Chain A
């Protein structure tokens, strides 16, 4: 909303330095009533559009609900934002009131800006970056861009998107793309290398849940994937600034933010995706792992990491071959004698747990009469482990610069959970079901305010709203990540400048 640039949001104030955190909040309270009025005028229309049947939306088994958005099923009555927001169990997570409060009080626009801008003062890295909004009426608005964090925030407060996505930095401002004389002058020049891991791709091997549901057991797949990917990206490709983000329901995204990664061409992105991708073959492709021996060091290392998880996450938690489901395992065993022997054994005791069946392979093989060497059997077993544990990527997302990916810290419209970053040092501890929901967070602010009392205005205002909630550790982590990235970028810029100055004479 370019016309709503207010005088008070001068660049100096907003982008001075991270320390000046507390100040803008105060000013924004003065602009609130106006925002509320404008948005309220829209709300009756939004209500009319809201005929989406939520149940249907979330039963989809194809996408992670990534492209669905629930319109408000019930509108909370007009409230001035100063009053506590009443959250009822029935209100939907993307209610306009809830989204407004979320963008106003919780969303870390400042750090998001610094993350994408790589400098405290606004640059084209941010200004030419594409944002795409999913509006409450499910319309999808592409090619938005903003010179500063504050204008992005204003737009969010006005449109109250149920979520928004981040695209590449373009060669010119995306809003001006149609005014260019030749269309080829508008092209993506930079984007973080991204990866998307989604539980959908694990549907054929997960037994605990189906569709959009997840539980701790199946989160194990994602944990394994993060571990393997993270180490490969760091050690093999030498990337340092890797941000993992919970996708809000049942997956995770990786944003690799190093300058080198941002500038990769599509062919190079495709190459990295290909390097990390292992499982090939569709529904009827049969064996999905076909690798040559000796194993490539990356696979060797991955296998070492995954072996332990295979015992717990797969054999115990998933128990994939119990009663009647062992057929797939049998198909993967290369030796016919061994296969029939195992089949006979398991047919007589179908309820035998997967862990025992896994051990049976070796014990039955010891009896002898095999046409394959012991080494081939070991390799076949390795392939099975990889098939059940190796990360399954949605590789298309990674291959193109122009692909959009959901921003960190937005709310997943289906679950209400905030898409928080995942600390890879503590990836095992991350609990997707314990991630705070937007309604819970707003409740926490109110509770905190109530406990501290209303009187001590000075003290209270020093504190940002997110600090009063369980979102704090996540925002702090993100701030630390962004600071590290900025420090490196700034250092580089400075060095480059010094170099060029030295060249002058």
Chain B
């Protein structure tokens, strides 16, 4: 594993880098030239910078990353994200290409390089933050890679020294029909291909974007972005792991540590997180197994459709059960009541079978059983819209997920009409949203339509603040807000948000 890492310094040469003397030794490379616009961030910074630069650069990069993050949970397509991000990037982290002849070229790259390493320190602390950081950095890298100048990109890739094999002209001719079928190009258009082991391009294999022959994947040159990015991310993950082990050495430091701590706090948890206050709803007495049917009319479509399927078939498949159980848990149904609910819902099943095959999963979701981590974390968190929108599509016979995404248009419209949406404009807008993959917008549209009287009322009275009526990004928020709106004037016009946010 690490032992064979080529980058490690040979034992003989290490002698002149005695750790006691290292602080007096002159750094070997004081100033670095950034040859390429893109950067794999392999060598850490060696120059001195001021504390102020340290902080402002980090904050600028943080702004970029947090905007990127918000793009993912707003479910923007890569193109939309790129469009949205361009002005932000230009403002906070501009990076010009070599051909631009910009004078600030080296400074821009230096800032990019340094801020990246500062944020590594900020995020390396916890597993969750490391994942978040590596995901966002990979996204940023991919975006920049895609918009890079073709020639410079090729040079950058060459400098990386990734080993892949070129496909010879002869082989290309031999496989021509199959290669064109994969690339989708018309005949005559020459394309460059290279081949690697299929295990190195899982993303492309999964999407059937490569030709596979006996374990070798033939990859189109333009798909190399996937390879380069996944390599970038693996290296970054390894480096973050190392950073986290080195972090304790900073404990004594009183200049950087406070800044780093402050920065790591600044990155707020995504809004879509389930907040524990969602389960305390004023005026709603603790729900029981019997009351679910009555409450179901306030559920968002994803949960209503699960509920209806459950009632129709007296059964739900695994992921549907999980999604629905967590939602019920999120609205305050206790474990005991939840088990009663499922037991009664699966009415075609013997007690024995239920206890043996289903009860455990429910208890596991509530954190009643399972490993230490699961129990301490009180089970799973109810799924957010982001989670529902990014998980794989349901297979035959399954009914979980977000209906705005999984249903065919006709079925969706029928389902939405079932919720009482009959305005033609709204229905068309929903169709449009679905086409543009803005599923949560469609869902919010339905919510606004079905609650329009109440929303108008609270707006007129001014009893709800604007954040209380912000876009819904969690099924439990949908329920809570819907329930409160429908029960206005029963002494509960109070707070919607608030309380501590729980991390996903």
Residues in chain A within 8 A of chain B (CB atoms)? 51-53, 56-57, 59-63, 67-68, 138, 200-204, 235-239, 260, 264-265, 267-268, 270-275, 277, 279-288, 292-300, 392, 395
Instruction: Pick the residue among B207, B212, B353, B407 that contacts A56 (CB under 8 A).
Output: B353
Contact B353 A285 (CB under 8 A): no
Instruction: Pick the residue among A265, A285, A299 that contacts B406 (CB under 8 A).
Output: A285
Contact A62 B198 (CB under 8 A): no
In the complex, how many angstroms separate the beta carbon of A351 from the nearest chain B beta carbon? 27
Stretch at the interface among B331-339, B389-397, B420-428, B475-483: B389-397
Contact A286 B408 (CB under 8 A): yes
Once bound together, how far apart are the Cα atoms of A284 and B397, in whole Å? 9
B309: nearest chain-A partner, CB-CB: A283
Contact A235 B399 (CB under 8 A): no
Instruction: Pick the residue among B182, B315, B356 that contacts A296 (CB under 8 A).
Output: B182
Question: Contacts A51-B352, A60-B353 given: A294-B214 contact, CB under 8 Å?
Answer: no
Contact B181 A300 (CB under 8 A): yes
Instruction: Pick the residue among B199, B315, B410, B411 that contacts A268 (CB under 8 A).
Output: B199
Residues in chain B within 8 A of chain A (CB atoms)? 178, 180-182, 184, 198-199, 202-203, 205-208, 211-216, 305, 309, 315, 317, 348-350, 352-353, 356-357, 393-401, 403, 406-412, 415
| Cβ-closest 8 pairs across A and B | A286-B408, A238-B215, A274-B206, A271-B202, A282-B394, A238-B214, A236-B212, A284-B411
Given the complex, which residues of A lie within 8 Å of B203, measured CB to CB?
Answer: 271
Contact B199 A264 (CB under 8 A): yes
Given the complex, which residues of A lie within 8 Å of B400, measured CB to CB?
Answer: 282
Given the complex, which residues of B lie within 8 Å of A292, measured CB to CB?
Answer: 184
Contact B206 A282 (CB under 8 A): no
Once bound together, how far apart are the Cα atoms of A203 and B396, in whole Å? 9
Given the complex, which residues of A lie within 8 Å of B181, measured CB to CB?
Answer: 294-297, 300
Contact A281 B178 (CB under 8 A): no
Question: Contacts A201-B397, A294-B184, A296-B181 given: A284-B403 contact, CB under 8 Å?
Answer: yes
Contact A282 B401 (CB under 8 A): yes
Beyond the given A60-B353, A288-B396, could you list 10 further A-B residue pairs with CB under 8 A, ordered by the A residue number? A53-B350, A62-B317, A138-B356, A202-B396, A236-B213, A281-B396, A282-B394, A284-B305, A286-B410, A395-B395
Contact A282 B205 (CB under 8 A): no
Question: Contacts A57-B353, A237-B198 given: A282-B399 contact, CB under 8 Å?
Answer: yes
In the complex, how many angstroms separate the beta carbon of A488 from the nearest chain B beta carbon? 15
Once bound together, how far apart are the Cα atoms of A236 and B401, in whole Å? 32
Given the complex, which residues of B lie within 8 Å of A300, measured CB to CB?
Answer: 181
Contact B393 A285 (CB under 8 A): yes
Given the complex, which residues of B lie within 8 Å of A273, measured CB to CB?
Answer: 206
Given the complex, which residues of A lie within 8 Å of B305, measured CB to CB?
Answer: 284
In the complex, how many angstroms separate the beta carbon of B458 from the nearest chain A beta carbon? 34
Once bound together, how far apart are the Cα atoms of A414 and B198, in whole Å? 40
Once bound together, how far apart are the Cα atoms of A51 and B412, in whole Å? 45
Contact A279 B315 (CB under 8 A): no
Instruction: Pick the residue among B207, B211, B309, B394 that contacts A281 (CB under 8 A).
Output: B394
Given the complex, which residues of A lie within 8 Å of B182, measured CB to CB?
Answer: 296-297
Once bound together, how far apart are the Cα atoms of A61 and B408, in whole Å? 25
23 contacts between A and B (CB under 8 A): A56-B352, A60-B353, A63-B357, A67-B356, A68-B357, A237-B212, A239-B215, A271-B206, A275-B208, A275-B212, A277-B395, A279-B395, A280-B395, A282-B393, A282-B398, A283-B309, A285-B408, A285-B411, A286-B409, A287-B408, A293-B184, A294-B184, A296-B182
Contact B396 A201 (CB under 8 A): yes
Contact B407 A284 (CB under 8 A): yes
In the complex, how many angstroms separate the beta carbon of A329 from the nearest chain B beta carbon? 15
In the complex, how many angstroms separate the beta carbon of A174 from the nearest chain B beta carbon? 15
Once bound together, how far apart are the Cα atoms of A62 and B212, in whole Å? 34
Main secondary structure of the interface of A (DSSP, over half): loop
Given the complex, which residues of A lie within 8 Å of B202, measured CB to CB?
Answer: 267-268, 270-271
Contact B393 A280 (CB under 8 A): yes
B348: nearest chain-A partner, CB-CB: A59
B208: nearest chain-A partner, CB-CB: A296
Given the complex, which residues of B lie within 8 Å of A264, measured CB to CB?
Answer: 199
A237: nearest chain-B partner, CB-CB: B215
Once bound together, how far apart are the Cα atoms of A270 and B391, in whole Å? 13
Given the complex, which residues of B lie within 8 Å of A279, measured CB to CB?
Answer: 395-396
Contact B315 A61 (CB under 8 A): yes
Contact A284 B399 (CB under 8 A): yes
In the complex, how many angstroms separate the beta carbon of A55 from the nearest chain B beta carbon? 10
Once bound together, how far apart are the Cα atoms of A22 and B118, in whole Å? 69
Given the complex, which residues of B lie within 8 Å of A260, measured CB to CB?
Answer: 215
Contact A62 B408 (CB under 8 A): no
In the complex, how many angstroms separate the beta carbon of A469 from the nearest chain B beta carbon? 33
Given the complex, which residues of B lie within 8 Å of A60, measured CB to CB?
Answer: 349, 353
Once bound together, how far apart are the Cα atoms of A288 and B411, in whole Å? 14
Between B215, B348, B396, B410, the greatest number of chain A beta carbons within 10 A of the residue's beta carbon is seen for B396
Question: Contacts A275-B208, A281-B406, A284-B408 given: A294-B180 contact, CB under 8 Å?
Answer: yes
Given the complex, which residues of B lie within 8 Å of A288, measured CB to CB?
Answer: 396
Contact B407 A285 (CB under 8 A): yes
A272: nearest chain-B partner, CB-CB: B205
Contact B215 A298 (CB under 8 A): no
Once bound together, how far apart are the Cα atoms of A287 and B396, in whole Å? 11
In the complex, how many angstroms separate the beta carbon of B257 from the nearest chain A beta carbon? 27
B396: nearest chain-A partner, CB-CB: A201
Question: Contacts A201-B397, A282-B400, A284-B403 given: A297-B211 contact, CB under 8 Å?
Answer: yes
Question: Contacts A282-B396, A284-B403, A392-B396 given: A52-B198 contact, CB under 8 Å?
Answer: no
Once bound together, how far apart are the Cα atoms of A203 and B205, in whole Å? 29
A266: nearest chain-B partner, CB-CB: B202
Between B206, B403, B407, the greatest number of chain A beta carbons within 10 A of the residue's beta carbon is seen for B206
In the complex, how many angstroms separate the beta carbon of B174 from the nearest chain A beta carbon? 13
Given the complex, which residues of B lie within 8 Å of A68, measured CB to CB?
Answer: 353, 357
Given the complex, which residues of A lie within 8 Å of B356, measured CB to CB?
Answer: 67, 138
Instruction: Pick the residue among B315, B317, B357 that contacts A67 (CB under 8 A).
Output: B357
Question: Contacts A279-B395, A282-B394 given: A274-B207 contact, CB under 8 Å?
Answer: yes
Once bound together, how far apart are the Cα atoms of A68 and B395, in whole Å? 23
Given the complex, which residues of A lie within 8 Å of B407, measured CB to CB?
Answer: 284-286
B356: nearest chain-A partner, CB-CB: A138
Instruction: Pick the residue among A275, A293, A294 that contacts B205 (CB under 8 A).
Output: A275
Question: Contacts A138-B356, A204-B397, A282-B398 given: A298-B212 contact, CB under 8 Å?
Answer: yes
Given the complex, which residues of B lie within 8 Å of A392, measured CB to CB?
Answer: 395-396
Given the complex, which residues of A lie within 8 Å of B348, measured CB to CB?
Answer: 59
Once bound together, how far apart are the Cα atoms of A56 and B403, in whole Å? 32
Contact A282 B397 (CB under 8 A): yes
Contact B394 A285 (CB under 8 A): yes
Between B215, B400, B415, the greatest number of chain A beta carbons within 10 A of the residue's beta carbon is seen for B215
Contact A204 B396 (CB under 8 A): yes
Contact A203 B352 (CB under 8 A): no
Once bound together, how far apart are the Cα atoms of A463 and B397, in whole Å? 49
Once bound together, how far apart are the Cα atoms of A70 and B264, in whole Å? 55
Contact A282 B208 (CB under 8 A): no
In the complex, how many angstroms separate the beta carbon of A418 from the nearest chain B beta carbon? 24
B199: nearest chain-A partner, CB-CB: A268
Between A57, A260, A271, the greatest number of chain B beta carbons within 10 A of the residue's beta carbon is seen for A271
Once bound together, how far apart are the Cα atoms of A285 and B315, in whole Å? 19
Given the complex, which residues of B lie within 8 Å of A282, measured CB to CB?
Answer: 393-401, 406
Given the complex, which residues of B lie within 8 Å of A298, measured CB to CB?
Answer: 208, 212
Once bound together, how far apart are the Cα atoms of A392 and B398, in whole Å? 13
In the complex, how many angstroms separate the beta carbon of A296 from the nearest chain B beta carbon? 5
In the complex, how many angstroms separate the beta carbon of A122 from the nearest chain B beta carbon? 26
In the complex, how many angstroms separate the beta carbon of B180 from the nearest chain A beta carbon? 7
Given the complex, which residues of A lie within 8 Å of B215, measured CB to CB?
Answer: 237-239, 260
Given the complex, which residues of A lie within 8 Å of B409, measured CB to CB?
Answer: 286
